[in-house]
Amino acid sequence: MGIFRTLMNDVDVVFHQDPAARSRMEVVFTYSGVHAIWAHRMAHGLWKWKLRFLAKLLSQISRFFTGIEIHPAAVIGQRLFIDHGMGVVIGETCEIGDNVTIYQGVTLGGTGKEKGKRHPTVGNGVMISSGAKVLGSFTIGEYSRIGAGSVVLKEVPPNSTVVGIPGRIVVKNGCKVNNELDHHILPDPVADKFKQLEEELLELKEELYRQKNTSR
C-alpha cells in the first residue's frame, strides 16, 4: 500500500471512531493522535534506513508537541486511532496490527531490562482503554478489549475482554467486539461478587427471622 493511501487511512479512521470529527482539514490540523502517527511513520522509515539518531530526534520532537511517545522502531499497521492521546507510550519492540484503537494514558511497555522482544504484540481490531498498562512480550489477541486502568501482564486470547489489576479475562468468545466509544461499559466481576454476597446475606437474615418467629 502506498504512503499516500496509508496517510489517508490514518485520517479516515478518525471519522469512523470519533463522532466529534467534522472535516478532514480539522483532523489533519488539530488531531494530535494523527500527528503522532504520521511523525512515527517518518521516524520508522529513518530507523529502517539506519538513520537512528534522526529517527530518535524526530520521535522526541513529536513527543514534545503531541504528548505521545512512540519509539521509532515500533511497527504500526493501518488505521491506528489514538484518541486524546496524551501520555500514550509505545515501546521499541511493540507491534500493532490494523484497526487498533488506543485511548489516553495507555502504555505498551516492557517489564525489565531484558534484550530482544520485550514489548507486546497487539492484534487487529484491539481496543485499549484509558490508562491501561500492557507490559511484557506477549500477544493481545485480535478483537480483544482492555478495560480502563487495567494492568495486563500475560497473553490475552482473541475476542476477549480484560479488566482489573492484574488483568482478568471476563469475556471470551462472547458477543461480537467492536470499536465503538463505549469503552467504559465493561463487566465488573468484583462488583458482581459483592452483589451475590449481599443477596446471600439477605437470605440468611430472612431465614434467621423466620426461625425466631417459629421458636416463639
- For the residues of 35-90, what is the DSSP string, one character each? HHHHHHHHHHHHHHTT-HHHHHHHHHHHHHHHS-EE-TT-EE-SS-EEES-TT-EE
Classify 31 as helix, strand or coil. Answer: coil
27 and 77 housed in the same domain? yes
Report the pLDDT value the prediction gives residue 4, as an integer from 0 to 100.
76
7 and 87 housed in the same domain? yes
pLDDT per position as a tens digit, 55-88 = 999 999 999 999 999 999 999 999 999 988 889 9
9 and 108 housed in the same domain? yes
Q: Which domain holds residue 107?
A: 3-185
What is the C-alpha separation between 154 and 139, in angstroms, rounded? 8
138 and 205 housed in the same domain? no
42 pLDDT band, cuts 50/70/90, is very high
Q: Read off the CATH number of the domain in which 163 is found.
A: 2.160.10.10
pLDDT per position as a tens digit, 14-23 = 888 877 878 8
166 prior amide bond cis, ω within 30:
yes
210 and 170 housed in the same domain? no
213 and 106 housed in the same domain? no
Location of C-alpha cell 480484560: 162
pTM over the 0.85 mark:
no
Strand order in the sheet with 133-135: 69-70, 89-90, 107-109, 133-135, 151-152
101 and 134 housed in the same domain? yes
**Identity of the amino acid at 24:** R
- Name the nearest CA neighbour of 130 among 193, 179, 86, 71: 86
